[in-house]
Structure 1
Amino acid sequence: MRSNIKELPAISINGVYKSFGLYENKVDALKNINIEIAQGEFLALCGPSGSGKSTLLNILSGIDKPSEGYVLFLNKLLRDLPETDLATIRSKHLGFIFQFFNLIPVLNAFDNVFYPLVLNGHFDAKSARERSLHFLDSVGLADLRDRKPGQLSGGQQQRVAIARALAHEPQVVVADEPTGNLDQATGEAVLDLLLKINQQTGTTFIISTHSTQLKERAQRVVEIRDGELAYDSAQ
């Protein structure tokens, strides 16, 4: 019998509000956000600085909780889960890519991918080694695996970060301005790589960005303004 699991959305965001502070200091960061993100989708999350993009990424990743509403992540209701279960979901099913790479400077490229795999407890050393080599090769850095971040260009460092995010084969990758710290040509190359991975693996990508090029090439564009859903190309 065919399973229906893959027909479910990867993430369903339902009536989400997020507020910070109290009384006259209260700030509404998100207001009634409703979005369903299909498995395998490549979504660009856009909006000006302070619009609520990062807050939304944190909530859909289970890093933060909404003030109201709920998130279903792979059909699991995040608000009902203890932090230990949320941490397991993040380590098994989520990959993170950051604007400033967040590589450990004293470790070489290989070890920056290898050690997170071992430390999360889901892989033994042999499997982690094989995965690290495979994913560094998949981003074109097999020959540079012994170099430390300071010996790599910005684009190469971001490729290491991408390999690290993908090495445990997550179902969803969340990226916060992954090309924001790169020059245009290097940013284009990184975007090409992310799109290729999405098409080859069916991994869901949710990317917060100011990049016009990324917006033009994304399968779907969602725009947040003043904490509200202002535009969704899927609607």
Structure 2
Amino acid sequence: MNTIFQDILDYGPALLGGLRISLALTGLSLLFGTILALVFALGITSRNKAFRWTSTFFVEIGRGAPALVLLQLMYYGLPNADITLSSFTSATLALTWTASAYMAEYIRGGLAAVPGGEIEGAQALGMSQQDTLRYVTIPQGIRIALPALMGFAVLLFQATSLAYSVAVPELMSQAYSAGSSSFNYLSLFIIAGAIYAAISIPATWLSVGVEKHLAKHL
């Protein structure tokens, strides 16, 4: 126990620095992933074959390939195509792809769950198909999918630990680095795990609370 407290004092600032990078990686991946997920969700149900097949391709690859494989592809594969990216950018692109693929299915399910009466009411008011989609279907669908999206955000935050494999100095990478200096791997991994849990558990409770709140109005 004394070892853990000593490691907190010695390596706490480095671990918190890694946590900031993990949160930044999560935030950027969620931001870009949500935008792409909405595009893919609309594309999967589109009547345009090129749009539909392109969206389906990216979604299926993003869901079928492990995030670690996509990380390695972005970091080691793209340089072979004369595209050089930093480790953080590579990790952001890989996790964005994974996030957009999974969230596209959540959003697609949310859009499909919008009550038909809402759409019929919009059409009865003379709204065009584009306006109905913009002002009725998408807002309602996102609201329905919100709890699932929040739950996935927690999983994505935890998945940022894979970025250590491409030299991103995030939380787990800092724990490995500190462990290689002190050889107290166990205590440092316990500290890192506690930090992950301190964020993931309240965020999970929040998503459950949001789900219960929305269930009263859906």
Task: State the TM bucket, normalised to the shorter chain.
Answer: under 0.3
Flag the structure with larger Rg. Answer: 2
TM value normalised by structure 2: 0.24
TM-score by length of 1: 0.23
Q: Which has the higher strand share?
A: 1
Between Structure 1 and Structure 2, which shows a larger proportion of helix residues? 2
